[in-house]
Amino acid sequence: MNNAFMFPGQGSQYVGMAKSLYDNPEIKKLFDKTTEIINDNIADIMFEGPNDRLTESKNTQVAILLHSYSVYSIISKTIKPTIVCGHSLGEYSALVASNVISFEDAVSLVRKRGELMSLAGEKAKGSMAAVIGMKANDIESIIDDINGVVIANYNGPLQTVISGEDEAVDNAIKVLNEKGARRVLKLNVSGAFHSQLMNYAYEEFSEFIEKFTFSNASMDIILNVTGCIETDGEKIKELLKKQIVSPVKWTDTMNVLIDANMDKFYEIGPKKALSGMIKRLTDKKIIGLDTMEHINMEVNNA
């Protein structure tokens, strides 16, 4: 059985996330380790919020990694992945699952990443918007004429995210609506992620990540920057630096998964955003594993 494990990124968090997993002693240890590393009570942040506290990038990124890896720790005892991938932040969960980095190192990395991305957003103000119902190449040709805006996420054939300077994004929203986009939605984010406005975060993070050891992947992993399978640890480290300022090639990632002839697609972590993206491209079984109830159902069916 060929199984794809997909790990979600920022935006999938919610107050109460992972609470159903916490009674498991192994998972509680992961929470305790995380609290020690970030010097803040991660269980309190995830279970009690409030939402404003949870959605701070430094907390959100740690929370989603912890939730996703907690689910992975339980489900992988019964169901093994053939190939792994993660959307933006989710790439770190995939790296832990494929033994490129340790869980503890991933917590330290995403905590720093979240802090730096927020700082970059303060230093260079920007915004993002989701464009629904228009092909990516049409969006590219339209925004080519608008300075200061780029594509941040290729999420599917008709779902793309743009990112850049506030005025440029607002201008692009207006033009894209006029040119026939079905919907263009401004996103509630703290900066222009995956654009050159994240250069401060890229430079600082590139220095920080050098303290960490990256091993070769123990299974195939698809990277955001290339949309291709990579296994070399040092190459993965370099791509992880670039990821902060580069577009997420999720459409390419999904195509690689489909071409690899997976039998099942599992979304490992909070909510079902990635499941919604890939269900438009395949009729294979897609399973979202968020809560203990979801995990037990899948284990019993295995």
197 near 127, Cβ under 8 Å?
no
The residue from 68, 87, 118, 194 that is catalytic is 194
* Catalytic residue status for 88: yes
Query: If you ran DSSP here, which 8-state letter would residue 115 be given?
Result: H
Cα–Cα distance measured from residue 287 to residue 84, given in angstroms and rounded to the nearest whole number:
14
Q: How far apart are CA 47 and CA 30, in angstroms?
A: 15
CA 36 from centre of chain:
23
Measured between alpha carbons, how far is 163 from 124 in angstroms, rounded to an integer? 12
Residue 187's nearest CA partner among 47, 42, 55 is: 55
The SS3 call for residue 16 is coil
Residue tagged active-site, from 57, 68, 88, 118: 88
**Token pair listed for 83:** 């190939």
At residue 82, φ and ψ (nearest 5 deg) are -90, -35
Q: Would you call 118 a catalytic residue per the annotation?
A: no
Distance CA 200, CA 196 (A): 9
Q: Under a CB-based contact definition with an 8 Å cutoff, are residues 205 and 242 in contact?
A: no
Burial 250-267 (b: 16+ CB within 10 A, else e): bbebbebbeeeebebbbb
**What are the catalytic residues?**
88, 194
